[in-house]
Amino acid sequence: MPLNLQDKKAIVDEVKEIAKGALSAVVADTRGVTVAKMTGLRKAAREAGVYMRVVRNTLMRRVVVSTDFECLQDTFVGPTLIAFSTEHPGAAARLFKEFAKLNKEFEIKAAAFEGTLIPVSDIDRLATLPTYEEAIARLMATLKEASVGKFVRTLAALKAKREAV
């Protein structure tokens, strides 16, 4: 069913609003993926705080103008699914990477983060970013390790002092 001008403007406005607040975006080709599998991906995306949408390439080019995702314009060729991470920069990349492992037809084209195009070969850079909770846990482990190390060194120094006396 063809879209009229009002519908096209509404789609561009809706997706542009999401793009303005998004932390990263990932573009993929869904040719050959079954509807049931795509429904599962959409459900997983909602749970992960990822906004996914299939939008005509001409409209997507209008959406990304003047955003951090303008670098993705050359990837809007053929069937295009775009996912914007709104809560965590690596959420969409992680979601698409896991889905691509299970579905060989699903092809990730590229990603964008902070205005930089990330080719599919480097998608792991974005997909492996720690979540907020993981980053806090790593920081706490580092601080704990540092404080335990200092405590052990202090005990060793006290023991050496006692032996010297």
**Max Cα–Cα distance, the chain, nearest Å:** 92
Amino acid at 20: K
pTM of the model: 0.75
Which pLDDT does position 165 carry in this prediction?
A: 65
Q: What is the mean pLDDT of residues 80-91?
A: 89
- Domain 5-129 fold is Alpha-Beta Plaits (3.30.70)
Q: What is the pLDDT of residue 120?
A: 84
Structure confidence at residue 86 (pLDDT): 87
Question: Using one digit for the tens of pLDDT, what is the confidence trace for 53-71?
Answer: 998 888 999 988 888 899 9
Sign (positive or negative) of CA dihedral 50, 51, 54, 55: negative
Q: What is the pLDDT of residues 120-165, one digit of tens each?
A: 888 877 777 767 777 778 778 777 777 777 766 777 777 777 777 6
Question: 3-class DSSP state for residue 116?
Answer: strand
Predicted confidence at residue 29, as pLDDT, reads 92
Distance of CA 110 to CAs 50, 63, 72, 75, 149, Å? 16, 17, 7, 7, 43
**13: closest CA among 73, 80, 59, 82?**
59
How large a percentage of the chain has pLDDT more than 70? 95
